[in-house]
Structure 1
Amino acid sequence: MSKCIRISFIGFGRMGKAMAIGFSKAGLEKSCITVYDKLSSARKDAESNGFRVVETAAEVCKYSEIVIVAVKPRDVEEAVKSFANAAEGKIVVSIAALVPLKKIEELLPKSVVYRAMPNIAVEVNEGFIALSPQSRRSEYLESVFRLLGEIEWVDEETLNMLTFYSASTPAIVAEIFDAFLLSALKAGLQYNIAKKALSTVFKGVGALLETKSVSEVRDAVITPKGVTIKAIEKMYVYGAKQRLVKALNDAYSEYEQMLSQGK
Structure 2
Amino acid sequence: MVIGVIGVGRLGLALVKGLVGGGIDPKDINVYDISDEALKRVEPLGVSLRRSIKDLVDASEIIIVSVKPLDALDVVKAVAPILSKDKILVSVAAFIPLQAIESNVKDKRVYRAMPNIAVEVNKGFTALTPPEKRCTEVENLFKVLGEVVWVKEDLLDLMTLISASTPAIVAELIDAFILVTLKAGVPYDLARRAAASVFQGIGKLAELKDVSAIRDSIITPRGSTIILVEKLYTYEVKGRLIKALSDAVEEYLEKLEKFRKEFS
Correspondence list, 1:1-263, <5 A: 5-89=1-85, 90-263=87-260
Cα distance in 1 for partners of 2:197, 2:36 equals: 38
4+ runs deviating over 3 angstroms: none
Aligned partner letter, 1:85: P
Matched residues, number: 259
Instruction: Quote the offset at 1:144 in angstroms.
Output: 1.4
Aligned partner letter, 1:78: D
Aligned partner letter, 2:137: Y
Could you list the runs of 5+ residues in structure 1 that have no partner in the other structure? none
Cα distance in 2 for partners of 1:41, 1:81 equals: 24
Aligned partner letter, 1:92: L
Tell me the secondary structure at the aligned position of residue 14 of structure 2: helix
CA contact (8 A) 1:221 1:228 kept: yes
Deviations 1:124-156 (A, max 9, x none): 000000000011011222111100000000001
Cα distance in 1 for partners of 2:141, 2:23 equals: 11
CA contact (8 A) 1:87 1:110 kept: no
Aligned partner letter, 2:83: A
CA contact (8 A) 2:57 2:82 kept: yes
Aligned partner letter, 1:245: I
Q: Percent same amino acid at aligned positions?
A: 47
CA contact (8 A) 1:88 1:110 kept: no
Tell me the secondary structure at the aligned position of residue 144 of structure 2: helix
Instruction: Quote the offset at 1:210 in angstroms.
Output: 0.3
RMSD (CA atoms) = 0.9
Instruction: Quote the offset at 1:45 in angstroms.
Output: 2.2
Cα distance in 2 for partners of 1:208, 1:193 equals: 22
TM-score (norm: length of structure 1) = 0.96
CA contact (8 A) 1:58 1:84 kept: no
CA contact (8 A) 1:46 1:52 kept: no
TM-score (norm: length of structure 2) = 0.96
Cα distance in 2 for partners of 1:209, 1:30 equals: 34
Aligned partner letter, 1:40: D
Could you list the runs of 5+ residues in structure 2 that have no partner in the other structure? none
Tell me the secondary structure at the aligned position of residue 34 of structure 1: strand
Aligned partner letter, 1:207: K
Deviations 1:158-179 (A, max 9, x none): 1011100100011110001111
Cα distance in 1 for partners of 2:102, 2:112 equals: 10
Tell me the secondary structure at the aligned position of residue 196 of structure 2: helix
Aligned partner letter, 2:72: V
Tell me the secondary structure at the aligned position of residue 107 of structure 1: coil
Instruction: Quote the offset at 1:229 in angstroms.
Output: 0.7
CA contact (8 A) 2:20 2:45 kept: no
